[in-house]
Structure 1
Amino acid sequence: MTPESHAAAAARLTGRRAGSERRVSGAVAEVDLGGGQSVMVKRGHGPGAAGAEAAGLRWLADAGAVRVPAVRGGDDVWLVTDRVATGRPGPQAAARLGRDLAALHAAGAPAFGAAPPGGPRDAWIGMAPMRNTPGEDWPHWYAEHRVLPYLRQAVDSGAMPAAGAAAVERVCDLLPALAGPAEPPARLHGDLWNGNVLWGADGHAWLIDPAAHGGHRETDLAMLRLFGCPHLDLVLGAYREAAPLADGFGARVPLHQLFPLLVHTVLFGGGYADQAVAAACAALAA
C-alpha cells in the first residue's frame, strides 16, 4: 500500500483541494491549498507524536501570550498547521519574545509534568520519547522524570561513561539544594532552542515544535541559551523586566540544560555526553 502523501493528508484533514507540495524535510512539507494559502504538513515520527504536538500548540495558544501556528487539522499520524512567513530577527521582536515568554510561563500549569489538555502522557521531545508524569515538587520531579530516564538510556547505550554518570547522579542527589527558590509550575514550550523560534516577516517571533508541559520557567530560558539565539540579551532583559528571575539564575543555567543535553546524548551521542557532564560539574560548583 502506497503511503499517503503530504498533499493528500492536507486535503483529507482540511477538506480543501491540495495543490503542489514542497518537501522541507523527510517529515515536513509545505502544501498549497489555493487562494494564496499554504500550510505546513508534518508526519509524526512516533506513536502519538502528531497529537501531542497539536495539543501543545493549542495549549500555548490558549495562554494568549506567544505566537504559534494555528492547527488546521490532524490525526494520529499527521499534523497540519498554518505556514509562518519568515523574516529576519530584530531587536524589537526579541524584546517582544521575552515579554511574551514571561506571560506564557505565568499562565501556569496544573503540576510539574502536566501534559497539555488532550495531550498524551507518553509524548516526545524532538525524536525522543518524553513521559509527562505529574509531580508537586520540582527538584524531585526533574530528577526522576527529566534527568535520570535519559541518563539511564545514555549509560545503557554506552554513550555516557560511568564517571560522567556519577556526576549527573550527584546533581540529582543535591537538587533540592541546587534548585533555588521554589516556584509554581510554569506553562513551558519545552523544547525552546533557537531552531524552534521562527522570526516572522510580521516582526514577531513564532514558536513551533513544542514539547509542552508544566515545568520550571528557567528550563525554557536555559534551553534558549544552549545553542544560541539572536539578540538573546534583549530576550532575557525584557523577560526579567516583565517577570524578575530569582537571584542566581545564571548559576542554575547548567542545571536546567542537563535535560536537553542528556536527550541529545541519547539521540546523537558524540560530544553531547561530555557537554552534559560539564553541565553537571558546573551545577555542582555553583
Structure 2
Amino acid sequence: MVPLLQVGALSFSSCFPSPRLHRYPLSRRHPSKPFTMAAKSDDPIREWILTEGKATEIKRISPIGGGCINLATRYDTDTGSFFVKTNRSIGPSMFEGEALGLKAMYETKTIRVPQPFKVGALPQGGSYIIMEYIEFGSSRGNQSILGRKLAEMHKAGKSATGFGFHVDNTIGSTPQINTWSSEWIEFYAEHRLGYQLKLAMKQYGDSTIYEKGQSLMKNMGQLFEGVVIEPCLLHGDLWSGNINSGRSGEPVILDPACYYGHNEAEFGMSWCAGFGASFYNSYFEVMPKQPGFEKRRDLYMLYHYLNHYNLFGSGYRSSAMSIIDNYLRILKS
C-alpha cells in the first residue's frame, strides 16, 4: 500500500510573491536517470498511478493551492493518496533535480521528506513529478526536534565526491550550478556568489555590486581559518514555507534545492525561517558549532539576498550591498 501523506501549500524560495519562470537554460551532466521517463500516453500520471502506483481506482483529483511556479494536485486512490506537481512550460530537468534531492534526503533516514516516485514529460509539453502525500499537522512543529533532525541529516548525508550535486537544480526559479569541486570556498565563490553577481550584472547592469562582490570573493577565505568543512547534504532552501510537520508532530521539509556543502550554508535563509534558540541549541548538540560561525552567517545569507534581488528586484539590493560592504570593511585585502 502506498504510504498516505499530504503535502500542503507549496512555496519557492521567497517570503514574498512568486518569482518568474526560468529565464536561463538548466544544464545537465549526470548520466544516470533514477527517475525514468514515463512512456508517452494521453495521461502518463494516471497511467503510472494505476500500474506502478498499485492503485486500481482514482477516486478523486483535487487541486491544492499555494504553488507559484507549478500546479499542485492531490490524487486520492483506493490504496492511498499521491501528490503531483505539473508544469506546462518547463521540461523534466527541474523536477528530476527536485526528485534527486528528495531521494538523497529520504535515504538518510533522519528528517521526514516526501518520497519521490516518478518524474516524466507531459504529452502536450511540460513535465510532472509524483510523490508521497503527507498529511500535515496543525502547526509547524517543535523547533528543537527540527534542529536535531536537520543536524542528523547533515551528519548522515556526506559526499565522497566533494562539494556540489549530481545535477544542476534550481533555487526558486534561478538555476543553481552544482559542478563538483574539492574546495568549498572555491565552490561557494564561483557557483553561488559569483553566479548571482553575474546575473545581477546581466539583468541590471549593476557594476557596483558586481565589483564589490568580486572583491569579497577574493578575500572571504579569511572567514574560514581553523574551520573543518565537510560536504554535508543540504536542503538548500530552508525557509518557513518549506518547513511543516506531520500529523504526529514530526518535522517535514519540502521543495529542496539540494547540494553537498558546508553545513552552515543551510542557515542562509534564516532571515525568513524563524529559527529560534531551541533550534540552534539542538542543532549544535549534534553538529558542534565551528569557530567563527557568527562571522560567516551573513556570508551565507548573501547568496539568498542576491537571489531575491535577481528574482524580485531592487528591494533586496540594499540588504545584499550592506552585507558586502560590512565584510569589505573587516577583511584584509
Query: What residue is the counterpart of 2:9 in the other structure?
Result: none
Alignment of 1:8-87 (within 5 A): 8-15=43-50, 16=55, 17-18=57-58, 19-24=60-65, 25=67, 27-35=70-78, 37-44=80-87, 46-47=90-91, 48-76=93-121, 77-86=127-136, 87=138
Q: Does 1:88 align with 2:152?
A: no
1: distance between equivalents of 2:105 and 2:213?
31
Say if 1:251 and 1:283, in contact at 8 Å, map to a contact too.
no
Point out the structure with the larger helix share: 1
Q: Secondary structure at the match of 1:154?
A: helix
The change in CA–CA distance for 1:111 and 1:192 in structure 2 (over 3 A counts) is: farther
Query: What residue is the counterpart of 1:196 in the other structure?
Result: 242
Structure 1 outlier segments of 4+, above 6 Å? none
- CA deviations on 1:84-123 (whole Å, 9 max, x unpaired) are 2222134xx211111111111112123444324xxxx332
Say if 2:140 and 2:243, in contact at 8 Å, map to a contact too.
no
Query: What residue is the counterpart of 2:33 in the other structure?
Result: none
Q: 1:169: Cα distance to partner? A: 1.5
Query: What residue is the counterpart of 1:5 in the other structure?
Result: none
- CA deviations on 1:188-220 (whole Å, 9 max, x unpaired) are 111112211112222111111111111110010
Q: 1:9: Cα distance to partner? A: 5.0
Query: What residue is the counterpart of 2:13 in the other structure?
Result: none
Query: What residue is the counterpart of 1:234 in the other structure?
Result: 278
Pick the aligned partner of 1:175 from 214, 220, 223: 220
The change in CA–CA distance for 1:221 and 1:104 in structure 2 (over 3 A counts) is: same
Say if 1:110 and 1:214, in contact at 8 Å, map to a contact too.
no
* Percent sequence identity over aligned pairs: 26
The change in CA–CA distance for 1:105 and 1:168 in structure 2 (over 3 A counts) is: same
Say if 2:102 and 2:114, in contact at 8 Å, map to a contact too.
yes
The change in CA–CA distance for 1:46 and 1:282 in structure 2 (over 3 A counts) is: farther
Query: What residue is the counterpart of 1:148 in the other structure?
Result: 194
The change in CA–CA distance for 1:111 and 1:214 in structure 2 (over 3 A counts) is: farther
Say if 2:197 and 2:210, in contact at 8 Å, map to a contact too.
yes
1: distance between equivalents of 2:295 and 2:315?
22
Pick the aligned partner of 2:294 from 217, 242, 250: 250
TM-score by length of 1: 0.86
Specify the code of the residue in structure 2 equivalent to 1:46. Answer: I
RMSD after superposition = 2.2
Specify the code of the residue in structure 2 equivalent to 1:253. Answer: R
1: distance between equivalents of 2:151 and 2:112?
13
The change in CA–CA distance for 1:233 and 1:46 in structure 2 (over 3 A counts) is: farther
Say if 1:125 and 1:191, in contact at 8 Å, map to a contact too.
yes
Structure 1, unpaired ranges of 5+: 1-7
Query: What residue is the counterpart of 1:217 in the other structure?
Result: 263
Q: Secondary structure at the match of 2:314?
A: coil
Say if 1:14 and 1:73, in contact at 8 Å, map to a contact too.
no
Specify the code of the residue in structure 1 equivalent to 2:84. Answer: V
Q: Secondary structure at the match of 2:160?
A: coil
- CA deviations on 1:147-206 (whole Å, 9 max, x unpaired) are 111111111111x63322232212101121123413111111111122111122221111
TM-score by length of 2: 0.75
Say if 1:185 and 1:214, in contact at 8 Å, map to a contact too.
yes
Pick the aligned partner of 1:130 from 151, 176, 191: 176
Q: 1:32: Cα distance to partner? A: 3.0
